[in-house]
Homo-oligomer: A and B are copies of this chain.
Amino acid sequence: MVTEVGRYREGIDPTSEPAAPDAHAVGAVVDRFYAAFEARDLDAMSDIWAHGDDASCTHPGWATLHGWGAIAASWFGIFDQSDPMQVFTTDVRVRVDGDTAWVTLDENLLGAGSDPAGTTVAALKVLRRIDGDWKVTAHHGSVVVGHPDE
């Protein structure tokens, strides 16, 4: 569910108003990202990533991985080694500019194990429209350990 495309449509970026359908398409790809994550489905994850050398992925605490090969290997390892997790996304904010989009959101992880149950991961993604389909070309996630007000 794209929870916060509404923020986008309500005019955070009024110049992009006509692109609201694109924002929904981008949000749907983000949803598929987390469905693939929950299902540990590498094919589904592969389907929504750009496969070029310039794709990048920064898992929480990791160095940035470059290129789909390294990124795919990382997902394989994560799917193979981690406990099943549910992810509820909140505060999803989609911005679209032509064939590029970027999204901020929070991943709220509920794990079967003790860790990382209850963890919140802040994420920034960049997507590109390639041959008509939105693909994730950059993903950066990091665990929220504190808030500036705390």
Contacts and interface: CB of A to CB of B under 8 A. Distances in A.
Interface of A: 12-13, 52-54, 56, 58-66, 73-74, 77, 91, 93, 95, 97-100, 102, 104, 106, 120, 122-124, 126, 128, 137-138, 140-148
DSSP class of A's interface residues: helix, strand, loop or mixed? strand
Given A100-B98, A126-B126, A142 B93 contact: no
Please tell me how many copies of the chain the complex holds: 2
18 contacts: A58-B122, A61-B142, A61-B145, A62-B146, A62-B147, A63-B120, A64-B91, A64-B104, A64-B106, A64-B124, A66-B104, A97-B99, A97-B100, A98-B98, A100-B102, A102-B102, A102-B138, A123-B140
A7 B86 CA distance: 37
B142 A65 contact: no
Contacts of A58: 104, 122, 124, 142
Contacts of A124: 56, 58, 64, 124, 126, 138, 140
Contacts of A148: 59, 62-63, 65, 73-74, 77
B54 A13 contact: yes
A128 B61 contact: no
